[in-house]
Structure 1
Amino acid sequence: MTPLRAALALLTTVTLASAAMAEAPKTDVAKSADHPVLKRFTGSVLAGYAQQDWEQRSFPDARGVKKDADEFTNPVALEGKVTRLFYLAPLGKSPLEVYRNYQQALAAAGFKVTWQCESEAQGCSKAYFALDKYERMKGMHWAEGDLPATGSEHAGSSWSLSGGISYEQARMLVGTLANGGRTLNLLLFTSVAENTHTGRAATYIEIVEPKAMPTGQVTVDAKAIGQGLQADGKIALYGLFFDTGKTDIKPDSNAQLDQMAALLKAQPALKVLIVGHTDNVGSIDANLTLSQGRAQAVVAALTQRGIAAGRLQARGVANFAPVASNAAEDGRARNRRVEMVVQ
């Protein structure tokens, strides 16, 4: 046993509360829910929950864990909407029973396995330590309760609910699941909840859904616009916002429009094209009309800020000039843009 594991085993023997006070959670943590693609094992309590609109997580690839270290061999960075769930199974349900039920449900839904382990020899305890506790605990919200001992040997003992998976009877399943035209990445880890004295099985799940990072959250200032135009003759501006399929410019665009106008006022001889771009969703004719309408809306907003109409021309080019693949949402988000181009 490594020093880290020995220290962990010692910590799990510490009594945290009296039997009279310790009680396992009976209801789900507030403001939580099962993920739509995977329902809980019957009778389980959703005791820990976190959801981030856009974040990065690391999953193992097909090589699993290293033979000589408690680490994934080749961790794969995944980005998108991240949901993390921690379930406590009912008393009397073994980790194996829980794991097999999840395994069968996922297989029936078309789950494609990237890597799995079901024993110490296959690296399950290493996988437990590779699931960095600090990272998986970050931002988690927990239900009220503890993990009390259920046998007489440790009567009166209980352990902290938070983070309560273990390397005892551990099993891990990692892979992908197609859902609604998207491919979701899913990691499932089932084990004894904290230690054998709790008499419970725990399951930790991470689901990463592909999603474009929210853009337009940084306004490009007048100086940066000028530098971009000087260096490349054009600059893409993602701080200009429109509703899907609409040409009316949204109020959130005002900060970016002010900076565009400031640059044009600082360089009174400068004439520019305002070029609208779309992704490839919809017909070319519809996207030509949409991109032209958006470009015209930006021109109108700049003239309202005192820029002479003769210095501006609006052009819509639909999806004729992509800067990324339209196969995924993050690429489509980059392609939906407005550019300033030096005439």
Structure 2
Amino acid sequence: MTHLARTARAALAFCLTLSFAAAALAAAPKADVSGGADHPVLKRFTGSVLAGYAQQDWDQRSFPDASGVSKSESKFASPVQLEGKVTRLFYVSPVGKSPLEVFRNYQQALNGAGFKTTWQCESEAQGCTKAYFALNGYERAKGMAWAAGDLPSAEPGSRSAWPLAMSISHDQARMLVGTLQNAGRSLHLLLFTSVASVAETQRAVTYIEIVEPKAMTTGQVTVDAKAMASGLLAEGHIALTGLYFDTGKTELKPESQAQLDAMLALLKTQPALKAYIVGHTDNVGSFDANEKLSQGRAQAVVAALVKAGVDAKRLQAKGVASLVPVAANADDAGRARNRRVELVAQ
């Protein structure tokens, strides 16, 4: 018996133990979890109950890429880290509806809306059992709210029941991962359908994650004067995380004021300090355009400080475009880190 098979058998035995522990008659959830709602781009399978729900305005999720699952381990081969608004949904289908019927209906609806599949599986041979373990139901269920109810046996006379929370299984498991265009944005979607806990429930369950790339709320963190002084002493430069510009623009946004005030405090407490204000960009677009943009942003910061009373002779603006990255420009997260303004001691 393989390690994977032993793990699956142990998981099933654990579920069976829980079922016999639930001696009292249990009822399946009859109403949606409080506060939960279908995602606007994808409605539920007819008759299903939204039993689990969570939504974070900004979070990170791990999806498989086109290589799917590892050939040797029960994990995603090359997981992709996605950031943005995250919606997690867990549906319980009506008794008698097979996971295949549920999966095919979702698949048909998504394909009709222009869904682009990154990876999918429909059998153990294609990696669905490994995908089940790679999902890590315990981690995925963190922070989710759940409806009242359990998953009772649908067999006549049976008093067995299984816990509702994240009750996916590797039995008849199918997974679909890809992207969907909506209102000019590319949404990332992961869908997993299987038997609910064990076949005796005669139900299918579906777990869905949708990640919507969006701009993170800014203006929440600034580097204060004390931290800037420490950074200059230790490294000779410091990134100013509280300076904000619209894409392709050089005008400082109003929410930059807190960071400017901290810079003014530093320059006031260290009257001998002379500094370069250095603008950086990612590598998107031409180098000449990025050099001009980075120089313009650096000059905007200098102008704001001089207007507030700093001697212009203490400051010099420099734009270096994408020449000094702090991360790879291969993804949005890396490019966001590279778009910055730094204060460098002369």
- 1:62 alignment partner in structure 2: 66
- 1:35 alignment partner in structure 2: 39
1:60/1:242 Cα in 2 relative to 1: closer, same or farther (>3 Å)? closer
3-state secondary structure, aligned to 1:12: helix
Match of 2:198 among 189, 195, 216: 195
- Compute the displacement of 1:102 (Å): 0.6
- Does the 8 A contact of 2:306 with 2:312 survive in 1? no
The residue correspondences of 1:43-192 to structure 2 (distance < 5 A) are: 43-152=47-156, 154=158, 156-192=159-195
- Compute the displacement of 1:178 (Å): 2.4
- Does the 8 A contact of 1:211 with 1:330 survive in 2? no
- Does the 8 A contact of 1:25 with 1:145 survive in 2? yes
- 1:249 alignment partner in structure 2: 254
Matched, 1:220 2:223: yes
For residues 116 and 102 of structure 1, what CA distance do their matches in structure 2 show?
13
- Compute the displacement of 1:94 (Å): 1.4
1:58/1:278 Cα in 2 relative to 1: closer, same or farther (>3 Å)? closer
- Does the 8 A contact of 1:219 with 1:239 survive in 2? yes
- Does the 8 A contact of 2:75 with 2:134 survive in 1? yes
Calculate the TM-score normalised by the size of structure 2. 0.77
Q: Deviations over 1:253-288 (max 9, x none)?
A: 43x34532332123213345667889999x999999
Q: Deviations over 1:205-226 (max 9, x none)?
A: 1122223555554432435434
Matched, 1:25 2:29: yes
Specify every segment of 5 or more residues in structure 2 that has no aligned partner in the other structure, as ranges. none
For residues 329 and 74 of structure 1, what CA distance do their matches in structure 2 show?
17
Deviates further, 1-10 or 289-298: 289-298
- Residues matched between the structures, number: 330
3-state secondary structure, aligned to 1:260: helix
- Does the 8 A contact of 1:249 with 1:297 survive in 2? no
For residues 46 and 310 of structure 1, what CA distance do their matches in structure 2 show?
61
- Compute the displacement of 1:180 (Å): 2.9
- Compute the displacement of 1:241 (Å): 5.6
3-state secondary structure, aligned to 1:173: strand
For residues 72 and 221 of structure 2, what CA distance do their matches in structure 1 show?
44
Letter in 2 for 1:18: A
For residues 253 and 70 of structure 2, what CA distance do their matches in structure 1 show?
54
- Does the 8 A contact of 1:242 with 1:249 survive in 2? no
1:236/1:75 Cα in 2 relative to 1: closer, same or farther (>3 Å)? closer
- Does the 8 A contact of 2:295 with 2:317 survive in 1? no
Q: Deviations over 1:158-184 (max 9, x none)?
A: 111101111111111112222333322
For residues 115 and 278 of structure 1, what CA distance do their matches in structure 2 show?
33
Identity across aligned pairs (percent)? 61
- 1:260 alignment partner in structure 2: 263
Match of 1:237 among 228, 237, 240: 240
- 1:270 alignment partner in structure 2: 273
- Does the 8 A contact of 2:58 with 2:84 survive in 1? yes
- 2:13 alignment partner in structure 1: 10
- Compute the displacement of 1:229 (Å): 5.5
For residues 76 and 55 of structure 1, what CA distance do their matches in structure 2 show?
14
Deviates further, 290-299 or 46-55: 290-299
For residues 253 and 122 of structure 2, what CA distance do their matches in structure 1 show?
56
